[in-house]
């Protein structure tokens, strides 16, 4: 069996103690609890190799709470893995700071858009000679 972190062993031992306390049908006898812990740790070892205590201890605790609430017979280690909540996604990096050139280009782009909107809202383009069909004298006449 691969070396498993002490915190994982501690969390699984606590979880199994809770399951034993429920006295579910199929639970191991008191003399087999240590062997049961070893088997559960062996079943978790491959996945647990990449676990980190700060992130995964609460997930293990939540998974055992799910088993406490749902199991009517002694669960298999697979049920614990199925009950593990997904990991929280890593915090996204902030966007890179804009350069002075990018800021200037964005300001120019916004100014041009504001000018276009202003022109459309005030109707100045209706008097433009390139659009005689829009001229007020040619609308509805």
H helix or E strand, kind and range, residue 42: helix 33-48
Q: What gap in Å lies between CA 16 and CA 8, rounded to an integer?
A: 12
Q: Cα–Cα distance between 117 and 63 in angstroms, integer?
A: 56
pTM greater than 0.75 = no
Query: 139: phi > 0 → left, psi -120 to 50 → alpha, else beta; which?
Result: beta
Which ranges of 49-99 does DSSP label H, i.e. alpha helix?
A: 53-70, 77-83
Q: Encode pLDDT of 36-72 as tens digits.
A: 999 999 999 988 989 999 999 999 999 999 999 999 9
Per-residue confidence (pLDDT) for residue 52, from 0 to 100: 94
Q: Supply the mean pLDDT for the chain.
A: 88
In the predicted structure, residue 129 carries a pLDDT above the cut 80:
no
In 3-state terms, what secondary structure has residue 93? coil
């Amino acid at each position: 069996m691969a070396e498993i972190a002490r915190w994982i062993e501690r969390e699984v031992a606590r979880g199994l103690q809770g399951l034993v306390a429920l006295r579910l049908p199929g639970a191991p006898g008191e003399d087999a609890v240590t062997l049961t812990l070893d088997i559960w740790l062996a079943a978790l070892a491959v996945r647990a190799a990449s676990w980190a205590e700060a992130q995964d201890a609460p997930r293990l605790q939540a998974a055992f709470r799910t088993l406490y609430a749902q199991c009517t017979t002694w669960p298999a280690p697979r049920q614990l893995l199925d009950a593990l909540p997904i990991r929280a996604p890593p915090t996204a990096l902030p966007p890179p700071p804009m350069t002075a050139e990018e800021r200037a280009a964005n300001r120019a782009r916004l100014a041009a858009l504001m000018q276009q909107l202003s022109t459309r809202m005030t109707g100045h383009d209706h008097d433009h000679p390139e659009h005689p069909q829009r001229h007020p004298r040619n609308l509805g006449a």
